[in-house]
């Protein structure tokens, strides 16, 4: 998920510490433990070779948002890389990356991409929204809400739930997602820095 091998961790701390150490020894250092922030911080403090990497938000929704939109799935990915480079160069989702399935967009009068979002790393029971970007000249017009609303509706129809990850400091994005019905949960990831 999001370009990383993830090891989803839940449960009581003592059990999670023991199981995480054992599983990491089996699967190797490319797997990054992921779960509720408090649990991941405990794991990083107690599992040898594990370091806390980052805290962020997991947001999900099961209800189709009520959004009026001109967004639609686009054929191919022409223009997506250019818009991401300009408006969201740290995006995890990029055209051609494994798991990035398709792109939705709000387009301008000449067909230019104004705001985009991807269906990326979706699983049977949860569709995953990623790669959200809006051209700087088109910001403040509600286009991100439109493209995210469309993509969310499509993902919920297909998978029953839509989800995304967001930087905890990105208040503007979190506000957009909350208006679309998403709920926020504090999560984190850790990484292996030496043999666990």
Question: Under 8 Å CB-to-CB from 156, ≥6 apart: which residues?
Answer: 61, 62, 63, 64, 127, 162
> Could you report the per-residue pLDDT of 130-169, keeping only the tens digit for each?
999 999 999 999 999 999 999 999 999 999 999 999 999 9
Confidence of residue 5 (pLDDT cuts 50, 70, 90): confident
pTM above 0.85, yes or no: yes
Query: pLDDT exceeding 90 applies to what percent of the chain?
Result: 93
What is the pLDDT, as a whole number, of residue 195?
52
DSSP state of 136: G
Chain segment 42-70, per-residue pLDDT in tens? 999 999 999 999 999 999 999 999 999 99
């Amino acid at each position: 998920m999001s370009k990383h091998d993830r090891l989803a961790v839940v449960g009581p701390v003592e059990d999670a510490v023991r199981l995480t150490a054992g599983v990491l020894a089996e699967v190797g250092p490319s797997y990054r433990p992921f779960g509720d922030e408090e649990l991941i911080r405990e794991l990083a403090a107690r599992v040898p070779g594990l370091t806390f990497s980052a805290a962020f938000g997991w947001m999900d929704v099961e209800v189709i948002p009520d959004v009026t939109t001109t967004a639609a799935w686009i054929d191919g990915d022409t223009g997506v890389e250019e818009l991401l480079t300009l408006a969201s160069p740290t995006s995890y989702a990029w055209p051609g990356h494994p798991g990035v399935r398709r792109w939705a967009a709000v387009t301008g009068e000449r067909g230019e991409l104004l705001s985009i979002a991807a269906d990326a790393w979706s699983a049977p029971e949860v569709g995953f929204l990623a790669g959200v970007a809006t051209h700087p000249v088109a910001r403040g017009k509600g286009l991100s809400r439109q493209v995210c609303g469309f993509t969310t509706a499509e993902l919920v129809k297909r998978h029953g739930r839509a989800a995304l990850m967001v930087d905890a400091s990105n208040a503007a994005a979190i506000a957009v997602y909350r208006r679309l019905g998403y709920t926020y949960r504090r999560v984190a990831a850790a990484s292996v820095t030496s043999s666990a």
